[in-house]
Amino acid sequence: MPKDDLVYVGHMLDKAQEALSLVHGRNRQDYDRDTVLRLALMHLIQVIGEAARRVSHVFRERHPQIPWDAIAGMRNKIVHDYMDVDEDIVWDSVVHELPLLIAELKRIAPMENP
């Protein structure tokens, strides 16, 4: 496994935690009204997706419980199809999916870096 994999996993973890900190105590109405929050979350999702895309195939195969392709796909949607981004999916991903991703990344990181 390339050492870069752990760097990318670390970036994913850091940015996912940052996104969660931005929505802590906030609700969907706050998200809808706050352009800066929306843009920040979309940027963080892009970084998470780009890092996921760069993780080696070998590492991905060892950890199939992480939806690598879906994470990278969301990044691609935001970057390349920005006019059709579904705000419900962005919000739900941050609020519901990122906590699961964070838990899984925290679980696998020590296994990969004993």
- Confidence class for position 96, pLDDT limits 50, 70, 90: very high
* Number of separate domains in the chain: 1
Q: Please report, for residues 14, 39, 82, the alpha-carbon distance to residue 77 in angstroms, rounded to integers and kept in the order given.
A: 21, 14, 7
User: What global pTM score does this model have?
Assistant: 0.90
Catalytic residues, which ones? 75, 80
Determine the structural domain holding residue 91 and report its residue range.
Answer: 3-112
The pLDDT of residue 3? 63
- The answer to whether the beta carbons of residues 46 and 78 sit under 8 Å apart is yes
What is the per-residue pLDDT across 23-81, written as a single tens digit (0 to 9) for each? 999 999 999 999 999 999 999 999 999 999 999 999 999 999 999 999 998 887 787 77
The pLDDT of residue 1? 47
The pLDDT of residue 8? 96
